[in-house]
Every structure is written in C-alpha cells, then in structure tokens.
Amino acid sequence: MLIMLEQTVKRILEAKVYDVAQETPLSPAPFLSSRLGQEVWLKREDLQPIFSFKVRGAYNMMANLSPAARQCGVITASAGNHAQGVALAAAKLGIKATIVMGTNTPDIKIRAVRARGAQVVLQGDSFDEARTYAERRMREEGLTWVPPYDHPLVIAGQGTVGMELLRQHPGPLDAIFVPVGGGGLLAGIAAYVKYLRPEIKVIGVESEGSACFAAARRAGRRVRLPFESLDLFADGVAVAQMGEHTWKLARRYVDDVVTVSTDEICAAIKDVFEDTRSLAEPAGALALAGLKKWAESAPPGQRLIAIHSGANVNFDRLRHVAERAEVGEAREAILSVTLPERPGAFRRFAKVLGKRAVTEFNYRYAQAGSAQVFVGLKTAERSDRPALVAQLQGAGYPVADLTDNEMAKVHVRHLVGGHRAEQIPEYLFRFEFPERPGALGQFLGVLGTRFNISLFHYRNHGAAWGRVLVAFQASERDRKALLAALHATGYRFWEESHNPAYEAFLA
C-alpha cells in the first residue's frame, strides 16, 4: 500500500490541471464558526470555470492521452459536472468529445455542455442506461473512455485539492470533510494528506440514501447498492458502488465516514449562502453538512475544513431547499395534532404553545368532534422537539411527529384538505418519475384502465426526477395485479398506504 500511496502522491504533484483549473481560495466561515464553536473553512471549488472540482480529474487524464487516443476522441456518460469537465478539457486540448446524458437531464446542463463544443447524445432515463450506450459506442468507434472517478489519473487530478489546502493552511488542522460519490475526490485528498500530514483526520460524507462507502466499510469490500434504494436528491453523489481504485485508497487512508439526510444537506446549503453568498448544489454542500453533524459531539475549538465541491444547482430546486432547510437545522418541527372541533379550540392550542412561532398551519375537519392539523413550529435545537411533543401530549392533544416523514414533507403538506370516500379501498404509492416529455403518458399506458387513480400529486424540484404521489382504487384481490403493473412501469416506487401522514390527512 505504501507503494500505491507514493505513486498517487507523485501523480498529484505531476498533475496537469492548471491549464484549465485554478487554485481556489480557502475561505473562513465566520457565522458558522461562531455558531458551532469551531474554526470552519470552506475550500471553494465552486469557483472553478465549470463551478465544480470535476474539471481537475477530467483534464489530467485527457492531457495524458497519447496522440493516437486524442485523434480518435473521447466519450463519457454523465448528467452533470463531469460532463462539463470533459467538455472543457476537450475544447482546451482540441479533442472531439461525446457526452451521453439521460433524456431527463435538465436543459441547463445540456446547454452548458454543448456550449463548450462537445457532442451531446441523449439516451435512457438513468445513468446506467446512458453508460451502457456510451460503452457500446466506445467499443464500436474506438473512443477513449473518460471515467468520472475510477482512474489513477482522475484521482490524481482531484487530489490537487488536497495539495492546495495543505499549502493554504500550513498550521494545525484537525479534520478535512470530503463529499463521497464514486470516491475520486476522497481518495485523492486522503492519499496526499495522509502522506504529508497523517495526524489530520480525513472524513468522508455521504447522503443517507447513497452511502456506498459506509456500506463498503461495514462489509470490508465494495458493495453495490440497489438502484431503487438510491436517493437522487444529491444527484452529484448518487452512486451505487464506489470505484475499485478509489476504494483501495479510501479504505486505508480515510478515518471515518458521516452520513447526512436531505434536510441536513438543505440546511448546509443555507449555511454556505449565509457565509459566502454563493449557492451550493446539494452535493456541493454535502461535506459541510457532515462537518456540522460531526462537530456536534466534538470538543470546541476544532480546526475544520469542508470541501465546497460544486455550485451547479438548478434555480427551481431552491424552493425545495428553502422548504427543508429549517427542519435540517432542527429549527422546525412538523407535527400532526388532533384538536377538538369546537369554538375556541385553536385559541387554546395557541395558548399552550405560548410564544413559540407557528411556521405553518393546515387545518382539515376530520370527523365529528375533532379536526386534524398539520402544523410547523419553530424549535430552538434538536433536543427541543421531544419536549415540544411531550408538552402538547401533556395538554391532552394526540400528536404524531412528522418531521422525519418524507412523504409528509414533500406531498402531504400541499394536499391537506381532502379525504377519500370511506367505502372505496385505496392504495397509496410514492414514485420518482424521470423529468422528460411523455413520462406520465408512459406510466398511464402501462397501467391501462384497470385501476382508477383517486389521488395524484406531482412536484417539480428542478432535478432530473420528479416526485409523484398516486393513490389507486383496487380491491384486496387485485392488489397483486396492481403491484405487478407498477413494477412494469420501470419507475422507482414505495408504498405509503400505512403512512401516518396519509392516515391523518388524506385517508
């Protein structure tokens, strides 16, 4: 392993990245430092020409291609930052580049790649479909594959981030937090830092819904997560399996891994904005979300760096981010509360709350004598939520805590106001639809006319996947056929028929 470490560090020192990349600043985060009681810095990779660190690895590999390989051209599959990195590198080096992207890729990303002169081919709905097509083109046309993370030269290019930050912060440093997708950035930084400054902790950060590195550490080997379990919110790191080269380095030289939720990522995006006035994409703020979570149990005064890895966020996604940031910062609790249906009930409820601010209040008459309320309440910190629930229960109110209920936060809060007819059996499912023309038509075409849709809620979050809540009327004996039809759509789905938010407000 020492030989591999030395080879990686040598490649980092020799990396050809600065023809297109720039040394990005290491910026202090004063507001967050004060709040956490730690010294926090952000490595600003969002300031690269493509607003992401990915240009480093792509350019380093392509700059080292033989003249023959350059003449043939390169190909890759990507819907995001790697695609832009390959396109920029190809334009600089005079190499023909083909980028295969899913048909549901947002237009802003397609335009950004085409603007740099690369040929864009739209194929499939998922990364796996796009990659399969690209690999076939690679074999048939003799093109060179440019991987997003799993190649020694790509790892070395990304590792120059670690080289820069040690030069920029030569003093004592406790930990560096690095976002993890396929592991190229993590492996490169860990190799360089551990070779020169082994006392510094290198900590990977993953989204809870795509934690392939954490799964690999538990198993002691690379693990492939099932696609249907991947959370695509932080799409830049939604990877099912860590790379082979990246795993060999990361398993040896990374000290720990932290997993964070969607809400915690949204809160970190807000923190980045408040300290830098820049907008991080979800994957870009991932490391900071992990830093904050780790710092909760760390002694004060730690010197910590988070890699702000990218800012390629679609503007439409900011609605969703703003909605979830308060929960992620533990500054809001989402509750379902049953109130008696009588004059003065709301006034008494407000009196029980005291001076606590109400952020949202959705009322629905439930049944004779009672009303169901979907309410958001300001909280001071994470430990305040159980005390709030206990306070309301002590005052005689039945309460269900929905703060961690994904369906409630994405869909139900926008649907409070209607119940199904009690005599009609109904099954509820949450789907992720590809954001492309015809996706709904394909869905309905596969289902046919056998099952009536009794509820439908769709929200566009500015991502490649839309989130859809659908209820079907079906008898118990037709349930098996319904599930078979839903599987035949090819879309990811989760049943929510017994979700407490559904039972309280929609059932």
Mean pLDDT, contiguous 10-residue spans, the chain (507 residues): 88 96 97 96 97 96 96 90 95 96 78 91 80 92 94 97 96 97 96 97 95 95 85 83 95 97 93 95 96 95 97 83 76 86 76 80 68 83 83 91 88 74 79 74 72 78 75 86 87 90 83
Does 183 map to a domain? Answer: yes
Task: Specify if 428 maps to a domain.
Answer: yes
Task: Check residue 319 and give its pLDDT.
Answer: 80
> Does residue 54 carry a catalytic annotation?
yes
**Residue 101: how many CB atoms within 10 A of its CB?**
25
Same domain assignment for residues 164 and 269:
yes
CATH number of the domain encompassing residue 79: 3.40.50.1100
With vertex at residue 279, the alpha carbon angle to CA 276 and CA 281, rounded to the nearest 5 degrees, is: 130
In a domain, 411, yes or no: no
Task: Give the H or E element holding residue 115.
Answer: helix 107-115
Question: Over the range 291-320, which residues count as b (16 or more CB within 10 Å of their CB) and which as e?
Answer: bbbbbeeeeeebbbbbbbbbbbbbeebbeb
Same domain for 111 and 67, yes or no, is yes
Query: What is the C-alpha to C-alpha distance for residues 205 and 306, in angstroms, rounded to an integer?
Result: 10
Residue 394 lies in a domain: yes
Please give the angle made by the CA atoms of 390, 396 and 401, to the nearest 5 degrees: 45
Which of these is catalytic: 126, 207, 210, 309? Answer: 309
Residues 129 and 195 in one domain: no
Domain presence at residue 347: yes
Has residue 409 been placed in a domain?
Answer: no
Query: Among 293, 326, 359, which residue terminates a domain?
Result: 326
Q: Per the structure, how many domains does the chain have? A: 4
Final residue of a structural domain among 372, 404, 436: 404
What is the full DSSP assignment across 443-490? HHHHHTTSSEEEEEEEE--SSSEEEEEEEEE--GGGHHHHHHHHHHT-
Query: Which of 323, 336, 330 lies closest to 389, judged by CA?
Result: 336
Closest by Cα among 257, 273, 175 to 219: 257
- Domain of 492, in residue numbers: 416-505
What pLDDT is attached to residue 242?
93
The answer as to whether 265 is a domain residue is: yes
Please give the pLDDT value at position 13.
Answer: 97
Q: Which of 54, 109, 194, 409 is catalytic?
A: 54
Residue 315 lies in a domain: yes
My answer on whether 322 and 345 are in the same domain is no
